[in-house]
Structure 1
Amino acid sequence: MPLHHRSSIRLVNAVFYARHGVHKEERRLGGRYEVDVELCFDSVPAAETDDLGKTVNYQRAYSIIEQVMVAEEPAALIETLAYRTAIRLIEELTVLESVTVKVRKRSVPLGGLCDYAEAEHRIEKR
């Protein structure tokens, strides 16, 4: 019976100060955003050879996330940020089979108490 191997690398709670949001004040003042990513792939080639070139380079993954969160055009929605990040990761890290991105916003203008709002986006290659 053939085996299908699937591994994950997760980057958890990468924190960025960025100027996103629906309201002008949010974009003017900026705020704290947190990002989690799960990068799924077959790690057997890397594990068998101990070769960094055959796995996910998580420094590169972090750099992609940072570009989307800080350097690119501001977004009104955290859903947009999660989507943009997932697209960039799966396109640029070609070893990936799937990616899940969660973007959290700590300062949520709700008029009440809430720890954070979070959007999640997942992409799978078929």
Structure 2
Amino acid sequence: MSDCIAISNLRVYGYTGVFPEEKALGQWYELDLKIWTDTAKAAQTDDITDTYNYVEAVEQARNLVRTAQFNLIEKLAAAVADILLQSSTQVEQVQVRVTKVSPPIPDFSGKVSVEITRSAA
């Protein structure tokens, strides 16, 4: 049985995009992360060492978005998923949603998101 740690509305400024302006000027992204891991032992011991430390997930995702320059948010989402899966043997599966808060689309005031799910090998 597996449990899920959810991190939502992680706002980060990054430089992913197809257009040169996106890479040069950057834009805001929002990330929502779900990390499946067994939390049963931590629930019994109340000890941080017995669970996945989600602060690590926030820091890793934030750093990647700030420093990476991909063309597509699909690639950015996959890179975040890879980092989370590689960060700990406790992580069984992740779901990553990357949202462009203000995508450069004429006459469009909405958001665009990509959501992926990946499992540990």
- Shared fold per TM-score greater than 0.5: yes
Q: How does 1:45-60 map to 2 (within 5 A)?
A: 45-60=41-56
Decide which of 13, 17, 24 is 1:17's aligned counterpart.
13
* Mean Cα deviation higher: 106-115 or 16-25: 106-115
Paired with 1:123 and 1:18, the residues of 2 have a C-alpha distance of 22
**Aligned partners of 2:16 and 2:76 also within 8 Å:** no
2:80 is paired with a residue whose SS is helix
1:112 is paired with a residue whose SS is coil
**Aligned partners of 2:13 and 2:26 also within 8 Å:** yes
**Aligned partners of 2:96 and 2:116 also within 8 Å:** yes
Runs of 4+ aligned structure 1 residues displaced above 2 Å come to none
> In the alignment, is residue 34 of structure 1 matched against residue 24 of structure 2?
no
RMSD (CA atoms): 1.3
* Mean Cα deviation higher: 113-122 or 32-41: 113-122
Task: Give the CA deviation at 1:125.
Answer: 2.9
Structure 1 residues 31-54: Cα deviation after superposition (integer angstroms, max 9, x where no partner): 000001001111111111111111
Q: % of aligned pairs identical?
A: 31
Which residue does the alignment assign to 1:91?
86
**Aligned partners of 2:93 and 2:120 also within 8 Å:** yes
Unaligned residue ranges in structure 1 (runs of 5+): none
> In the alignment, is residue 119 of structure 1 matched against residue 119 of structure 2?
no
> In the alignment, is residue 76 of structure 1 matched against residue 71 of structure 2?
yes
Structure with greater Cα Rg: 1
2:65 is paired with a residue whose SS is helix
Task: Give the CA deviation at 1:93.
Answer: 2.3
Task: Give the CA deviation at 1:28.
Answer: 1.3
Decide which of 101, 107, 119 is 1:106's aligned counterpart.
101
